Structure 1
């Protein structure tokens, strides 16, 4: 397996746990102990994934995310002891793809890594902008602006459709309320979040077999939403 991973972690014990986890799946990796080293390695090794702690000795991890995002779209999974919602939102809004709170299980981290690499592979395969998105029983015809579930066309409002398209184009990634509001409504007002929740509820009623137990759109409470890839590993 040739997936190159940059691990940014100054805690030796946590770093060893992550290294052991990556070794079990034969991932290639390098370690950076602070933000400056992380930025240097991110440029030199061109990793396919960055696993990043926020509490670094020389700079905040969110600043590392912003600097990386100024020149690269390399997926970033934050692994941090900061479990507050505001910390998660700040990291995700800065450009992180996912957020794992310490302490974490090895299986959880590996699952998050698999999700990122599946999305990366899907992005490469659709680099030519495939006009058709397929995820389980859900199908979106981008050219025809139509949506089908289990073979039946589903009629969405313009905002519901735009919301679904944004989620589909970032499948596997947690999208914050703020990101969705900017992408769909060109708004960044937190006062608009209730409207977003209403549109999400009506969208789920139309595409989910059981809206109370959604399989496509996952809620991250007070943070945002993620479209899950519905396929067989």
Structure 2
């Protein structure tokens, strides 16, 4: 963020769509830059400072899935995938590679702006330097909120921003059943969109995998069939 203005990178090969998205973002007081080639977009994402990156899937040189994977290996900023691909498997794949959100084309530019603003706001709140040092520990899982670090059985496990935020929400609100729609509103700070089920389910799956990787014998996040999820203490 430069001079208090959020900087967005749009990796989109359809110039008319990219320019429309850029116009709406700039109308809403954000800076937006366009990369029409996948490899160029990846290089800019890795070597420049952006507050959020919007990635199309079908791109010249490199597809959006690979771009998302490579960015997530190096950076933890919000990533949004946008695509005409509507199949559930594509949504799950994109979210599984570390994207924070998946929007299916066509969508309104105002919806894009709303999601971009929500993701940036949540990210800034989570990583703000003025956050008070605070430790929360349940079931051998310890979260250092100010340092954005998670420890399982004493060993650090790396979580993406949204995985961290979702786990933190569960640990701050344990022993209560949360529906997927509620989790989407609380953690993503947005009204229900058609991606909420996939977004929440995939992120919970990734959290469970990482807790298991940390040698936690049993996941505290329980699926309550027909209702939602509960973090058990």
Q: Same fold (TM over 0.5)?
A: yes
Change (3 A) 1:202 1:104: closer
The answer on whether the counterparts of 2:166 and 2:187 sit within 8 Å (CA) in structure 1 is no
Corresponding residue of 2:25: 22
Partner Cα separation in structure 2 for residue 84 and residue 108 of structure 1: 20
| Pairing 1:198–2:225 present | yes
For residues 127-138 of structure 1, the aligned pairs below 5 Å read 130-131=133-134
Corresponding residue of 2:94: 91
Instruction: State TM-score, norm by structure 1.
Output: 0.63
The answer on whether the counterparts of 2:165 and 2:187 sit within 8 Å (CA) in structure 1 is no
The answer on whether the counterparts of 1:166 and 1:183 sit within 8 Å (CA) in structure 2 is no
Q: Deviations over 1:5-46 (max 9, x none)?
A: 110000122112111111211211211111111112113321
Instruction: State TM-score, norm by structure 2.
Output: 0.63
| Pairing 1:57–2:60 present | yes
- What is the root-mean-square deviation of aligned Cα atoms in Å? 3.3
Corresponding residue of 1:166: 167
SS of aligned partner of 2:50: coil
Corresponding residue of 1:45: 48
Residue from 121, 124, 128 that aligns with 1:125: 128
Q: Tell me, which stretches of 5 or more residues in structure 2 are unaligned?
A: 140-163, 171-185, 190-198
The answer on whether the counterparts of 1:35 and 1:59 sit within 8 Å (CA) in structure 2 is yes
SS of aligned partner of 1:58: coil
Partner Cα separation in structure 1 for residue 229 and residue 94 of structure 2: 28
Aligned residues between the structures = 173
Partner Cα separation in structure 2 for residue 128 and residue 26 of structure 1: 25
Corresponding residue of 1:154: none
The answer on whether the counterparts of 1:181 and 1:196 sit within 8 Å (CA) in structure 2 is no
Deviation (angstroms), 1:104: 0.5
Q: Deviations over 1:55-78 (max 9, x none)?
A: 102121100011111111121111
The answer on whether the counterparts of 1:131 and 1:143 sit within 8 Å (CA) in structure 2 is no
Partner Cα separation in structure 1 for residue 97 and residue 69 of structure 2: 6
Q: Tell me, which stretches of 5 or more residues in structure 1 are unaligned?
A: 133-141, 146-162, 207-233
Partner Cα separation in structure 2 for residue 127 and residue 66 of structure 1: 30
Q: Deviations over 1:70-100 (max 9, x none)?
A: 1111211111111111101101110111011
